[in-house]
């Protein structure tokens, strides 16, 4: 087995993430009967329809752990250990908030009362922040993602499609059980807010942009970009199919605040140049180019 490479700081952040996730689900969503996505939402549904001694925290462990154990070899044991630790913290915090601490749920959420919209927004936001933090520090707090990795190819769909299908099924089942479409519709708002929060935490505010520029073979753009931005750029020779002229292709990664500067440089140096800008979720390495990891 490959040697484990576990870090103390990761466990500290995973502890915080598990508690944040529990706050979002147990103090905002559960009191007004709204569902988180994935296994977390499934655990709450089972908590509601089973005898009182079968609690949400227990279902979180029972439903999550088998998938992580099955995925250990494929996903790596560092990932599994981090994930199970985060789930354990989440389950423990949920137990404390729902079953141990003297928190009054008689009026709905302690923070938003019976207001389902506010509960959906802030519950989804906190749940997404917790889940995103777990991903950022090496794990995943919900077994549906692991289930998707294990089974999506076998049934011919992407991981994203698998997760979405699972949540649609969960919300549809809840609608029939409680004879109301309000609960799943508000839960979809929770899911949407949560996904955006996960993206924000994982990718950060300073999201990178990849710029590809096609310019003249003798263009000064590579040096101008390097000198102005203070980082390296990659160039390679190409040819225009229509014009038959030799071209230079420049590839450089910048942050969102530098896009305007890049456009200005391109317009000044070569008004006929063609440039495309795409999002970059993450960069690794490249210290010598002057670009930090994002």
More confident residue, 257 or 42: 42
The pLDDT tens digits for 53-97 are 999 999 999 999 888 888 777 778 888 899 999 999 999 999 999
pLDDT of residue 259: 85
Q: Do 181 and 218 belong to one domain?
A: no
Listed range (75-84, 142-151, 239-248, 280-289) with the worst mean pLDDT: 280-289
Enumerate residues 6+ apart whose C-beta is below 8 A from 210: 251, 252, 253, 277, 278, 279, 280
103 and 160 belong to one structural domain: yes
The verdict on 169 and 153 lying in the same domain is yes
Among 186, 203, 220, give the residue marking a domain's end.
203
The CA distance from 277 to 294, in Å, is 17
Same domain, 199 and 219: no
Minimal CA–CA distance to 279: which of 259, 261, 250? 259
pLDDT at res. 151: 77
Residues 177-194 have a mean pLDDT of 92
- Shared domain for 132 and 248, answered yes or no, is no
The answer to whether residue 3 sits within a structural domain is no
Please tell me whether residues 77 and 171 are part of one structural domain: yes
Domain membership flag for residue 2: no
Mean pLDDT taken over the chain: 87
Q: Are residues 152 and 238 in the same domain?
A: no
For residue 293, report the phi and psi dihedrals to the nearest 5 degrees.
Answer: -70, 135
What is the percentage of the chain residues whose pLDDT exceeds 70?
A: 92
Query: How many domains does the chain divide into?
Result: 2
Can you give the residue range of the structural domain that contains 49? 8-203
In a domain, 14, yes or no: yes
Asked if residues 126 and 23 have their Cβ atoms less than 8 Å apart, the reply is yes
252: three-class secondary structure by DSSP: strand
The closest of 250, 228, 246, 230 to 238, measured between CA atoms, is 246
Instruction: Compute the CA torsion angle 196, 200, 205, 208 (nearest 10 deg).
Output: -90
Tell me, what DSSP letter sits at residue 34?
-
Query: Of 147, 176, 203, which residue is a domain's last?
Result: 203
């Amino acid at each position: 087995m490959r040697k484990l490479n576990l870090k103390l700081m990761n466990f500290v952040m995973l502890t915080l993430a598990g508690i944040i996730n529990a706050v979002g689900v147990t103090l905002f969503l559960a009191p007004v009967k709204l569902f988180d996505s994935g296994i977390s939402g499934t655990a709450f549904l089972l908590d509601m329809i089973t005898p009182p001694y079968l609690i949400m925290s227990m279902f979180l462990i029972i439903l999550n752990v088998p998938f992580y154990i099955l995925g250990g070899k494929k996903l790596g044991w560092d990932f599994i250990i981090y994930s199970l630790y985060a789930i354990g913290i989440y389950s423990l915090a949920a137990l404390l908030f729902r079953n141990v601490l003297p928190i009054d749920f008689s009026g709905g959420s302690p923070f938003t009362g019976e207001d389902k919209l506010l509960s959906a927004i802030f519950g989804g936001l906190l749940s997404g922040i917790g889940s995103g933090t777990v991903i950022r520090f090496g794990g995943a707090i919900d077994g549906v993602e692991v289930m998707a990795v294990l089974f999506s190819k076998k049934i011919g769909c992407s991981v994203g499609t698998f997760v979405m299908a699972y949540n649609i099924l969960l919300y549809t089942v809840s609608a029939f059980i409680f004879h109301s479409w309000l609960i799943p519709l508000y839960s979809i708002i929770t899911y949407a807010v949560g996904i955006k929060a996960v993206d924000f935490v994982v990718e950060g505010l300073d999201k990178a942009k990849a710029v590809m520029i096609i310019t003249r073979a003798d263009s000064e753009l590579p040096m101008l970009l390097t000198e102005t931005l203070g980082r390296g750029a990659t160039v390679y020779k190409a040819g225009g199919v229509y014009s038959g002229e030799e071209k230079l292709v420049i590839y450089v990664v910048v942050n969102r605040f530098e896009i305007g500067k890049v456009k200005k440089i391109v317009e000044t140096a070569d008004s006929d140049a063609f440039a495309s800008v795409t999002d970059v979720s993450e960069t690794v390495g490249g210290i010598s180019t002057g670009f930090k990891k994002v």
